[in-house]
């Protein structure tokens, strides 16, 4: 921050502890640019195993990418179908109205046919 007078300025009632990975230059605060902030260096190690490959490359292979794309498209189509079914099922008032209307017209048509042969 070339023009900033403080990296962290705390004008609150409580002091803030700022934890940062020691040895990581971008995270290390300049002690002269802190106001009511206590820097606390920590040694960071990530004990979690990688969910990707041995070299932590998160990019998918072409085959894996195509499989994920297929899975997404199938899930999207399934969602669209379920959403459409839901919309249709919740539209019972309109469906009931049209069913009654069609029943009325069918009855009228049957009466007309019986009267006019």
Backbone conformation region of residue 56, classed left if phi is above 0, alpha if psi is from -120 to 50, else beta: left
Q: How far apart, in Å, are the Cα atoms of 92 and each of 1, 89, 97, 99, 106? A: 62, 6, 8, 10, 20
Structure tokens at 71: 């899975």
pLDDT of residue 30: 87
- Which pair of structure tokens corresponds to residue 67? 């499989």
pLDDT at 8 (0 to 100) = 84
Residues 6+ apart with CB under 8 A from 1: 7, 33
- Asked if residue 18 lies in contact with residue 35, where contact means CB atoms within 8 angstroms, the answer is no
Q: So what's the pLDDT on residue 40?
A: 92
**Dist CA 113 CA 104 (whole Å):** 14
According to DSSP, the residues that pair with 34 across neighbouring strands are: 8
Low-confidence spans in the chain with pLDDT less than 70: 1-4, 50-57, 93, 117
In this predicted structure, what is the pLDDT of residue 80? Answer: 93
The pLDDT, as a whole number, for residue 1 is 43
Q: What is the pLDDT of residue 57?
A: 66
């Amino acid at each position: 921050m070339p023009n900033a007078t403080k990296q962290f300025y705390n004008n609150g009632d409580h002091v803030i502890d700022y934890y940062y990975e020691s040895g990581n230059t971008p995270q290390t605060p300049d002690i002269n640019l802190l106001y009511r902030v206590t820097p606390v260096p920590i040694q960071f190690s990530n004990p979690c195993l990688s969910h990707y490959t041995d070299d932590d490359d998160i990019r998918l292979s072409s085959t894996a990418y195509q499989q994920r794309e297929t899975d997404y498209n199938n899930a999207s189509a399934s969602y669209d179908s379920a959403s459409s079914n839901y919309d249709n099922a919740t539209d019972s008032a309109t469906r009931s109205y049209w069913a009654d209307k069609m029943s009325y017209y069918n009855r009228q048509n049957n009466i007309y046919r019986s009267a006019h042969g």
